[in-house]
Amino acid sequence: MILLPAFSLMAGLAEQFEDYQYARWGEGVMLTGYTGAGGDLVIPGLIEGLPVLAIGDLAFRNHAELTRVSIPASVTRIGRGAFNYCEGLGRVTIPGSVDLIAESAFASCPSLVEVTLGEGITEIGNQAFAHCRSLAGITIPGSVRVFGTGVLSDCTGLTRVTLREGVSELGRSMFLGCTGLKEVSLPI
């Protein structure tokens, strides 16, 4: 019996629509790759008439030319390492429809200065935004119930964090190496 990683199987089954590689996933599709030029990217909510429900593991990894990403409200999951090492990525908007931002999803994006997290996100995985050294501030919605280890670790430019009402527990080593952190606002 030969076991192959799920990602390898997904890549083999991928279909192409414009600049996006995708695979069927539940009642919709999961993006598995991107071949576009970059710049400001608005990910479509539909591909071939099916909703984009997930961004797969490593789907946009190493796309240095991406500068801004807007994720549609149809997406419920952002996979492991989906956008990590996107060196030019400066801004990202994640809607509240997303339940899970997986491990290292946006890690090591050194130009990332702005992250907008929608109310409704429930889980942020290990090191999801680690090593984003230009990130100065972030607001965590009250809907987040689960934090992985080191979610914001080594974000040396991080100076302020706002936690909205509803956040009751932080992950281990969440701010490890955040040497510039001056302010953490907690709900009263």
What pLDDT, in 10s, does the model give residues 87-115?
999 999 999 999 999 999 999 999 999 99
Virtual torsion, Cα 99, 44, 42, 127, nearest 10 deg: 30
Give the model's pLDDT for residue 3. Answer: 42
Give the model's pLDDT for residue 61. Answer: 98
Are 4 and 12 in contact, with CB atoms under 8 Å apart?
Answer: no
Give the model's pLDDT for residue 6. Answer: 46
Which pTM does this prediction carry?
0.91
Nearest to 11 by CA among 23, 28, 24: 23
Domain ranges across the chain: 6-124+131-185
pLDDT band at residue 187 under the 50/70/90 scheme = confident
Distance CA 145, CA 16 (A): 35
Checking if the pLDDT of 76 tops 90, the result is yes
What pLDDT, in 10s, does the model give residues 13-52?
789 999 999 999 999 999 999 999 989 999 999 999 999 9
Give the model's pLDDT for residue 169. Answer: 87
Give the model's pLDDT for residue 8. Answer: 37
- What average pLDDT score do residues 76-84 get? 98
Percent of residues, the chain, with pLDDT higher than 90? 88
Length of the chain: 188
Distance CA 103, CA 61 (A): 13
Give the CATH number of domain 6-124+131-185.
3.80.10.10
